């Protein structure tokens, strides 16, 4: 099926949507993005993603081309135009096209693109099996809190993990797990405590992470927001990742260490259930 994509105010068949070779997103990765899950044609955790989008833009000094309401309308419209029941909406905003120069253009005209991907979010087969992780060094830049399109290193990390026979990568810096290649990393200690890295410039402030922490606390769990080492993760009762694209998925192996029983953990499965239930109820 040919998708209908949004480009700077126009709705176009995907083959007809063209961006300039001088777009700074292409030349400098001078662009940010967001990903929102869609279930039953409704947007999941939209307000969190919209708020982080504004934060990323303001950190880079890029003006948002649309008002908050217009952005929401475009999200709803792209779902409708593509008949999207379940999947993802990707939004990208670059500083726009300008003659190649490290200095920002004086009068930027940002490029705004949205496209959809239809895929199972709720019934992802990896929920049943869990995933295996390989640890790799975190060689990204130091402003990972800004959701930029500089995704080459996470892509290289995932390829390295797959080369080593794992499903995905966890990135490690100064002995501590920063996050996954495209997800937040969490562990459950043997006493049931949820441990997840505290927020800083070192990692993306996951929207799913924030919701999972609230739900865990609401369910009476203790939550520690601190870094954890690869060794601590390997001896944890459970490990899992969260993101808009997978909600919460258990990690059953890290490098050569089997985690817990080697099957998706009960706590991660419970948290995914709580997240799914609450986010479906608040989807817009
Ligand atoms: N960390 C990184 C590096 C990511 O790329 C992502 C998602 O794309 C996440 C964490 C999870 O963020 P969220 O829960 O907002 O999808």
**Contact criterion met (CB below 8 Å) for 119 and 87:** yes
For the cut 80, the answer to whether the pLDDT of residue 239 exceeds it is yes
* Cα 66 to Cα 89: distance, rounded to the nearest angstrom: 17
Beta bridge pairs of residue 23? 97
For the cut 90, the answer to whether the pLDDT of residue 40 exceeds it is yes
pLDDT of residue 280: 94
Residue nearest to atom 8 of ligand 1 (CA): 182
pLDDT of residue 6: 98
202 ligand 1 Cβ < 6 A: no
208 ligand 1 Cβ < 6 A: yes
Residue nearest to atom 12 of ligand 1 (CA): 206
Ligand 1 atom with minimal separation from the 144 CA = 3
For the cut 90, the answer to whether the pLDDT of residue 1 exceeds it is no
* Cα 53 to Cα 127: distance, rounded to the nearest angstrom: 28
**Contact criterion met (CB below 8 Å) for 197 and 227:** yes
- Looking at residues 187-214, what average pLDDT do you find? 98
For the cut 90, the answer to whether the pLDDT of residue 33 exceeds it is yes
pLDDT of residue 90: 98
Largest CA distance in the chain: 58
pLDDT of residue 123: 86
For the cut 80, the answer to whether the pLDDT of residue 62 exceeds it is yes
**Contact criterion met (CB below 8 Å) for 159 and 126:** no
User: Which helix or strand (DSSP H or E) is residue 88 part of?
Assistant: strand 87-94
pLDDT of residue 160: 98
Query: Which residues 6+ apart lie within 8 Å of 222 measured at CB?
Result: 192, 193, 194
For the cut 90, the answer to whether the pLDDT of residue 55 exceeds it is yes
Which residue out of 18, 147, 189, 270 is catalytically annotated? 147
For the cut 90, the answer to whether the pLDDT of residue 236 exceeds it is yes
Residue nearest to atom 4 of ligand 1 (CA): 182
H-type alpha helices, the chain? 24-28, 46-60, 68-81, 126-129, 152-163, 207-218, 230-234, 266-282
How much is the mean pLDDT over the chain?
97
Q: Whole-model pTM? A: 0.96
For the cut 90, the answer to whether the pLDDT of residue 57 exceeds it is yes
Residue 147 among the catalytic residues: yes
243 ligand 1 Cβ < 6 A: yes
H-type alpha helices, 141-229? 152-163, 207-218
32 ligand 1 Cβ < 6 A: no
* Cα 168 to Cα 251: distance, rounded to the nearest angstrom: 10
Determine the length of the chain.
284
């Amino acid at each position: 099926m040919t998708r209908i994509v949004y480009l700077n105010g126009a709705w176009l068949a995907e083959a007809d949507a063209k961006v300039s070779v001088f777009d700074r997103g292409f030349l400098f990765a001078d662009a940010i993005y967001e990903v929102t899950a869609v279930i039953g044609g409704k947007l999941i955790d939209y307000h969190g993603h919209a708020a982080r989008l504004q934060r990323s833009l303001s950190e880079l000094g890029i003006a948002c081309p649309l008002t908050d309401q217009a952005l929401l309308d475009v999200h709803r419209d792209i779902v409708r135009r593509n008949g999207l029941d379940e999947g993802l909406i990707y939004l990208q905003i670059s500083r726009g096209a300008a003659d190649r120069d490290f200095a920002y253009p004086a009068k930027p005209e940002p490029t705004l693109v949205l496209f959809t991907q239809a895929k199972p979010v709720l019934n992802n087969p990896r929920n049943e099996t869990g995933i295996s992780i390989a640890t790799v060094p975190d060689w990204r830049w130091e402003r990972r809190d800004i959701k930029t399109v500089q995704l080459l290193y996470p892509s290289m990390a995932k390829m390295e993990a797959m080369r080593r026979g794992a499903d995905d990568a966890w990135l490690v810096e100064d002995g501590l797990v920063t996050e996954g290649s495209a997800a937040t990393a969490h562990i459950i200690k043997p006493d049931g405590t949820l441990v997840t890295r505290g927020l800083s410039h070192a990692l993306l402030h996951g929207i799913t992470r924030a919701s999972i922490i609230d739900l865990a606390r609401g369910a009476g769990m203790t939550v520690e927001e601190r870094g954890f080492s690869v060794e601590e993760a390997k001896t944890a009762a459970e490990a899992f990742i969260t993101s808009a694209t997978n909600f919460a998925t258990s990690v059953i192996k890290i490098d050569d260490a089997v985690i817990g029983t080697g099957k998706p953990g009960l706590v991660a499965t419970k948290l995914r259930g709580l997240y799914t239930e609450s986010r479906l109820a608040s989807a817009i």
